[in-house]
A and B are shown apart, each in its own frame.
Chain A
Amino acid sequence: MNFAELYQELILDHSKRPRNFGPLPDATVTVKGDNPSCGDEVELAVKLTPGTVEALKFTGHGCAICMASASLMTIKVKGKSRDEAAGMAQAFRHMLITPEETAVPESFGDLEVFSAVRRFPQRVKCATLAWRALEQALSTAPEAAVSTEGNA
């Protein structure tokens, strides 16, 4: 059945028990993202150094797709370089608008579970909310990250 594909065990698990959920006191950037039409809200707190996404956590509420996507994203992106993280965000968002039959690159790992979202175009924005927040965080003033690193 279609929805079993959409709501795979991994997605259910991460939506019920999101990882890296909660405040990040030493965050350098905090970005709030929302899907006003459905009420999904994700606040992403990121600790950025000049080159690296050192830590990230999120709070908020939303549908299973949105929460699971945010949770898995935090695991995937933590410790990656800023460029790698930005590349992943771009690749993830791109994957969701490719045709259903397009193969998902190996490098996606667990994130492959979201490929089923391609059959539900109205839900793409749920899956990408946290990633859009990440992209915005990465594009904000690197100086902020620099000065925090100096303090640390």
Chain B
Amino acid sequence: MQSFDSKPWETIRRDFPILDQQVNGHPLIYLDNAATSQKPRAVIDCLTHYYENDNSNVHRGLHELSSRATMAYEGARARLAASIGAEAAEIIFTRGTTESINLVARTWGEANIGAGDIILLTEMEHHSNLVPWQLLAKRKGATLRFVPVTPEGTLDLSKLDELFAGPVKIFSFVHISNSLGTINPAAALCARARKAGVTTLLDAAQSAGHLPLDVRGIGCDFLAFSGHKMCGPTGIGILWGRQEILATMEPFHGGGEMIASVGFTESEFKPAPYRFEAGTPAIAQAIGLGAAADYVDGIGRAAIFEHDQALARQAVGLLKEIPGIRILGPLDERGGLVSFVLKDAHAHDVVSMADQYGLALRGGHHCTQPLLRKLGVPASARASFYFYNTPEEVEKMAAIVRKIQTFFA
């Protein structure tokens, strides 16, 4: 089934020390990459090197270590900007996708969304791209509107004219659905929004480490992603915003690092991105994320996308032969993950049992409760792939799932 040469992927796998272990007496098969990816030696070494050699607080410091830390931190910013076709000044370091979206809702949203305005989302949003907007809508008296999801698990784009009608101020949507695997046509949707004068935010949590991203090509206004899903450390992520929009935005948190000058009653703030980075940032994590971007781009995001898709196709092909299984999301084109429901086994029983075979899956609502409710599914099990996973692991996964279904039938 796969068109890729399996040799280099096997070599790449050895870059991940954690994958070489037994879990419950079986070789670990880690298929929970949509929750968090594993970290290559290069990223782990980068963190160690930083703490052993350069650790210091960034910016204002006048000593050698501080200047090294600052260089590395700002270098990571430039590195991440380059990886998505952006300017360094447009890259704001956050704790992750969730904080990035909250930042936009709290700053841009606070200033630009008022009573009666409409916030357009889709029915397949992760809670992190839903709850911040619910909070904003409540504060402002705004309304949430949703692009519906079809039973096949794709966005229903037939009524876009109606959806964009009225005082729609922002369209915030997910690039690759973490529970369906659906890949949304980001560029076309952003173009449609721009035509209607609507600002766009793309939640790239599941796509950033998995396919090439170019913010100018996509044409969004904001883009958010997390580092830990693309081989980087936890606690670090990115908000990218168009320079001209960032320049209009009020600060998010107040404190050190983000000020130009401070008086007892009033302060002046630095321009973006520093205006949005109050306090000592996650320095090591940002530098680690830079190393992760180097690593991922060294392999090539297009090659990763092809590899993940091949595994997903293989998984769908094998799983759909299991009697009574329901696979969520589109069957043809999907990102590197497969969610499914077994007729006779609840997702948590599936995951508990899979764990006994050293197979790490995830079960639950995947932080998309309203979506699963709409699909009539209380919980699903999910296998999500990354470039270090192999066709053999996918085969073993499908065989284990089949055993589980038989056990509970």
In this complex, which of B369, B379, B408 has the most chain A Cβ atoms within 10 angstroms of its Cβ? B379
A102 interfacial by beta-carbon distance below 8 Å: no
Partner of B346, one of A6, A37, A62: A62
B273 interfacial by beta-carbon distance below 8 Å: no
Hey, what's the 0/1 contact readout for B323-350 against A, CB within 8 Å counting as 1? 0000000000000000000001111110
B280 interfacial by beta-carbon distance below 8 Å: no
Q: How far is the CA of A16 from the CA of B408 in the complex (A)?
A: 8
Nearest CB on B from A122, distance (A): 8
Interface pair B364/A63, CB less than 8 Å apart: no
Interface pair B349/A2, CB less than 8 Å apart: no
B365: chain A residues at CB < 8 Å are 37-39
Nearest CB in chain A to that of B364: its residue: A38
Interface pair A7/B364, CB less than 8 Å apart: no
A64 interfacial by beta-carbon distance below 8 Å: yes
Total number of residue pairs linking A and B with CB closer than 8 Å: 53
B349: chain A residues at CB < 8 Å are 7, 63-65
Interface pair B379/A123, CB less than 8 Å apart: no
A113 interfacial by beta-carbon distance below 8 Å: no
B352: chain A residues at CB < 8 Å are 3, 6, 120, 122-123
Nearest CB on B from A15, distance (A): 8
Interface pair B346/A2, CB less than 8 Å apart: no
B344: chain A residues at CB < 8 Å are 16
Hey, what's the 0/1 contact readout for A34-47 against B, CB within 8 Å counting as 1? 00111111000000
Q: How far is the CA of A37 from the CA of B347 in the complex (A)?
A: 12
For A, the interface residue count at a CB cutoff of 8 angstroms equals: 23
Q: How far is the CA of A60 from the CA of B143 in the complex (A)?
A: 32
B353 interfacial by beta-carbon distance below 8 Å: yes
Nearest CB in chain A to that of B404: its residue: A3
Q: How far is the CA of A7 from the CA of B379 in the complex (A)?
A: 19
Interface pair B364/A37, CB less than 8 Å apart: yes
B364: chain A residues at CB < 8 Å are 37-39
A38: chain B residues at CB < 8 Å are 347-348, 363-365, 379
A126: chain B residues at CB < 8 Å are 348
B378 interfacial by beta-carbon distance below 8 Å: yes
A17 interfacial by beta-carbon distance below 8 Å: no
A16: chain B residues at CB < 8 Å are 344, 408
Hey, what's the 0/1 contact readout for A89-122 against B, CB within 8 Å counting as 1? 0000000000000000000000000000000101
Interface pair B372/A39, CB less than 8 Å apart: yes
A12 interfacial by beta-carbon distance below 8 Å: yes
B248 interfacial by beta-carbon distance below 8 Å: no
Given A12-B408, A41-B378: A2 touches B347 (CB 8 Å cut-off) = no
Nearest CB in chain B to that of A62: its residue: B346
B267 interfacial by beta-carbon distance below 8 Å: no
B369: chain A residues at CB < 8 Å are 36, 39
B353: chain A residues at CB < 8 Å are 3, 7
A1 interfacial by beta-carbon distance below 8 Å: yes
Interface residues of A in 21-61 (CB under 8 A from B): 36-41, 61
Q: Which 3 A-B pairs have the closest CB atoms?
A: A63-B346, A39-B378, A39-B379
12 more contacts with CB within 8 A, not counting A63-B346, A64-B345, are: A1-B356, A3-B353, A37-B364, A37-B365, A38-B379, A39-B364, A39-B365, A63-B347, A65-B349, A66-B346, A122-B352, A123-B352
* A to B CB contacts below 8 Å, 27 in the list: A2-B24, A3-B352, A3-B356, A6-B352, A12-B408, A16-B344, A36-B369, A37-B364, A37-B365, A38-B347, A38-B364, A38-B365, A38-B379, A39-B347, A39-B365, A39-B378, A40-B378, A61-B378, A62-B346, A62-B378, A63-B347, A63-B348, A64-B346, A64-B349, A66-B346, A122-B352, A123-B352
